[in-house]
Amino acid sequence: MAEPLSVALVGIGKIARDQHIPALNADPDWTLAATVSRSGGVDGVENFADLPQMLEARPDIGVVSLAVPPVPRFAMAAAAIGAGRHVMLEKPPGATLAECHALSAQAQAAGVTLHATWHSRMAHGVAAAKEWLAERELKRLRVTWKEDVRRWHPGQEWIWQAGGLGVFDPGINALSILTEILPAPVHLSRAVLDFPGNRDTPIAAELDFAHPGGAEVSAVFDWRQEGPQTWDIEAETDAGTMRLSDGGATFRAEGAAPVEGPDREYPRLYARMAELVRAGTSEVDLAPMVHVADAFTLGRRRVVEPFDW
């Protein structure tokens, strides 16, 4: 068995504690060798107040995983790549497409791995949905991604600030699945974005896409959902219907065996990162970010009631 890879996890917030740390602790391919956080690290793991300090003190750590908000991520990723470290990016991989292209070029020049991760693509039903759609003619596809921002981002002001993406923070998860499972790419043709009067980012969005075969493809994202949460993708084809639910974890379709299972998204991300590092390659797919950028460019803005916690 190959030696475990040492990783420094930057940003010890909710997503790190809920997903990254359990995934790393359960994987013999990885050793959580250090954390970088101003608000506290992980028991038994060396913590640093900032990334430059860690890079200087721990040249033995070859991988940096960035679980920080998108706006500060570029400078951190560039510093890690400049120090010769492999870099794993939480979604979205950056605040802008230009930043991501710059990081990709820098990583290629430095000969290190850059992995732009899309955790929802690792959900149990996604591969089955991709295979099922590949053999059929799509007629209609509808994405419904509605959740309660107070439940999933309690008190996190950065998501409402410029660069924080607002409802596209979860919505980009749906777009990452959409761009993975469709046999033919689509592009945005219409968008309506609802902005709270006191916020810089949208709380809801309606999207329509142009499909090369004329299929109707649309999405609705909303952060005001109370009660049951909805993360569904439904498709109609010339040979039956398909439904991905629970954020891609559950697959049901006519003529196909159902697929479902426990959450393994982040363990699969780290397994993929280990493969890329050992192979000396990178993986930077920006297709989901293109749709988000197009929505902000093309979208019609509607001002809705202010949002407060």
Q: How distant is the alpha carbon of residue 37 from its chain centre?
A: 21
Q: Is 14 a catalytic residue?
A: no
Rounded-to-integer distance, Cα 176 and Cα 105, Å: 22
Cβ contacts of residue 98 below 8 Å, gap of 6+? none
In the set 91, 130, 139, 146, the catalytic residue is 91
Annotated active-site positions, please? 91
